[in-house]
């Protein structure tokens, strides 16, 4: 065992010692143990007065060995930023966590990872789009990264598992405090051989609101890019997309029905330069991975009578949205959503100006 690991954990848990300051201290002293045991007269010259006072009090009350042994007994694994198997993608970001706790396995293949995030209040359109794209990403060899939240996050994890792929769930609290509680079973399934559940927060830390924006940088940091499938204009998913852009990661967004509030987030990202995604091939092309990844885009037939009506109409040639609406006798509002879904599935394509045709 790395003898410095207990001190890494202790130092990373100290109030006010964030990732950037941790790296500075580690570089100055050489080891986490040296930082922890540094004389007051030296620390007072390096830390601000308030931080120095807080750290000294914390150090006096924290049981390094006792806390470390409790982590081991709970079968919680820990990676430090100095470990060889610390994820390379994550290590590259400026504020990479000096340690993170995890259950499950982190593998070399997880370097080919895509974050998939979105709204908690997912629609049927958002669910179907997320499931389709995640399954095709898995077929292309991607590990799926998300935040275990309700809605798009949980759907992305489940779709990855159902497709036989790997997935990583990044928590906004400790590993012993799974949030939301209804996803605890999902977290266990992920950690038992199908991926990993990870957190930079101590195992018994609650999932308080302020943790989630911080957590989001890890979701994007673990990934080559981030895909937003459905989100409102004020969604936290856009924060994750912002982290991705700052980290030099690619941002992808799925368009949707213009009348839905939950497509305003992706629409805004596309306006700002995110890559519009209609199929996984759009992602592979942007990442220049087509030559490296073997993939098969799902051949998905109509899943319901309404979709079949539209496909049958287009068999005779391209039609305008208005013609499709009139001929199908479907509700105007549902036609736009159906067309978007069929386009995502790769069954039809937009010809521009509101016209559509079957995709050859």
d(CA 258, CA 266): 11
Q: Give residue 297's pLDDT.
A: 44
* Average pLDDT of span 265-287: 90
CATH assignment of 305-358, among 3.40.30.10, 1.10.10.10, 3.10.129.10, 3.40.50.920: 1.10.10.10
Q: Give residue 239's pLDDT.
A: 84
d(CA 152, CA 232): 12
Please spell the DSSP secondary structure of 236-273, one letter per residue.
THHHHHHHHHHTT-EEEE----TT-GGGHHHHHHHHTT
* Average pLDDT of span 246-262: 86
Q: Which residues pair with 196 in a beta bridge?
A: 104, 168
* Average pLDDT of span 212-225: 93
Residue 181 DSSP class: G
Q: Give residue 238's pLDDT.
A: 86
318 or 151, greater pLDDT: 151
Q: Give residue 11's pLDDT.
A: 94
Q: Check: CATH 3.40.50.450 for 108-287?
A: yes
Q: Is the four-CA dihedral 208, 214, 219, 220 of positive or negative sign?
A: positive
* Average pLDDT of span 212-238: 90
Helix 280-287 to helix 124-139 angle (10° resolution) is 50
292 or 344, greater pLDDT: 344
d(CA 355, CA 142): 33
Which helix (H) or strand (E) segment holds residue 323: the answer is helix 321-328
At 11-21, the pLDDT tens digits run: 998 988 989 89
pTM score of the predicted model: 0.80
Percent of the chain with pLDDT over 90: 60
Tokens 């459905």 found at: 230
d(CA 187, CA 182): 10
At 282-317, the pLDDT tens digits run: 999 999 885 344 444 444 457 788 999 998 888 877
* Average pLDDT of span 240-254: 89
Q: Give residue 290's pLDDT.
A: 58
Bond before 33 cis per omega within 30 degrees: no
The domain spans of the chain are 1-73, 108-287, 305-358
d(CA 7, CA 37): 9
Range with the lowest mean pLDDT among 39-43, 69-73, 301-305? Answer: 301-305
Confidence of residue 360 (pLDDT cuts 50, 70, 90): low
Percent of the chain with pLDDT over 70: 96
Pick from 104, 63, 99: nearest CA to 78 = 99
| Cβ atoms 4, 31 nearer than 8 A | yes
Largest CA distance in the chain: 83
At 87-103, the pLDDT tens digits run: 999 999 989 999 999 99
* Average pLDDT of span 81-90: 93
Which helix (H) or strand (E) segment holds residue 196: the answer is strand 195-199
């Amino acid at each position: 065992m790395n003898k410095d690991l207990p001190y890494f954990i202790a130092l990373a848990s100290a109030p006010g010692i964030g990732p950037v300051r941790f790296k500075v201290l580690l570089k100055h002293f050489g080891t986490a143990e040296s930082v922890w045991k540094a004389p007051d007269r030296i620390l007072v010259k390096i830390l601000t007065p308030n931080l120095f006072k807080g750290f000294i009090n914390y150090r006096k009350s924290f049981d390094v060995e006792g806390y470390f042994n409790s982590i081991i007994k709970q079968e919680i694994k820990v990676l430090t930023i100095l470990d060889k198997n610390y994820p390379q993608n994550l290590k590259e970001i400026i504020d990479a966590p000096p340690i993170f706790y995890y259950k499950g396995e982190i593998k070399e293949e997880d370097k080919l990872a895509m974050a998939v995030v979105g709204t908690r209040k997912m629609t049927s359109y958002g669910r179907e789009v997320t499931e389709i794209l995640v399954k095709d990403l898995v077929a292309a060899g991607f590990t799926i990264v998300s935040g275990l939240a309700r809605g798009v996050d949980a759907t992305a994890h489940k779709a990855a598992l159902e497709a036989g792929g790997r997935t990583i769930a990044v928590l906004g609290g400790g590993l012993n405090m799974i949030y939301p509680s209804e996803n605890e079973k999902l977290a266990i399934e992920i950690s038992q051989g199908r991926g990993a559940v990870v957190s930079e927060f101590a195992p018994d830390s609650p999932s308080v609101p302020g943790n989630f924006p911080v957590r989001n940088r890890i979701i994007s940091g673990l990934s080559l890019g981030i895909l937003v499938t459905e989100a409102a204009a004020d969604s936290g998913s856009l924060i994750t997309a912002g982290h991705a852009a700052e980290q030099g990661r690619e941002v992808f967004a799925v368009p949707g029905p213009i009348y839905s509030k939950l497509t305003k987030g992706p629409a805004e990202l596309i306006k700002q330069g995110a890559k519009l995604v209609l199929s996984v091939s759009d992602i592979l092309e942007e990442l220049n991975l087509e030559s490296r990844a073997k993939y098969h885009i799902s051949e998905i037939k109509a899943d319901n009578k309404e979709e079949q009506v539209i496909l049958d109409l287009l068999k005779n040639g391209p039609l305008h949205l208005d013609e499709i609406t009139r001929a199908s006798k479907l509700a105007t509002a549902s036609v736009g959503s159906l067309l978007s879904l069929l386009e995502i599935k790769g069954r039809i394509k937009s010809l521009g100006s509101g016209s559509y045709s079957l995709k050859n």
